[in-house]
Amino acid sequence: MATPPRRPTNPMDAAEALFKPAKAKPEAPKYEVRAVPNAKELVSIRIDRAVLDYFQNDGPGWQDRINDALRVVVQGKI
């Protein structure tokens, strides 16, 4: 009597069966960014130490002063 093979299945087929077919990821929901008019947004930027010292020397409100200076530059280019 013949002995059955130790591995009755093809190893390649067995390996392929272990992997599930990749499922397509659902698309992220599309939404509109609704910004409040004239609202300030929290950002992180790198500024030279000398520039930062210049605006901070006048005390509190230095972030508003930087914003005002940047607004003047932007309005000048429009």
The answer to whether residue 25 sits within a structural domain is no
Percent share of the chain, pLDDT over 90: 41
Please, which pLDDT band fits residue 29 given cuts at 50, 70 and 90? confident
Please, which pLDDT band fits residue 26 given cuts at 50, 70 and 90? confident
Please, which pLDDT band fits residue 59 given cuts at 50, 70 and 90? very high
The answer to whether residue 11 sits within a structural domain is no
Angle between helices 49-56 and 62-77 (to 10 degrees): 110
In one letter, which amino acid is 74? V
Q: Of 51, 74, 76, 75, nearest to 63 (Cα)? A: 51
* pTM listed for this prediction: 0.52
**Beta-strand (E) ranges in the chain?**
none
Other C-beta atoms closer than 10 Å to the C-beta of 34 total: 5
Three-state secondary-structure class, residue 24: coil
The answer to whether residue 13 sits within a structural domain is no
Kindly report the CA angle at 72 between 67 and 76, in degrees rounded to 5? 145
The tally of domains found in the chain comes to: 1
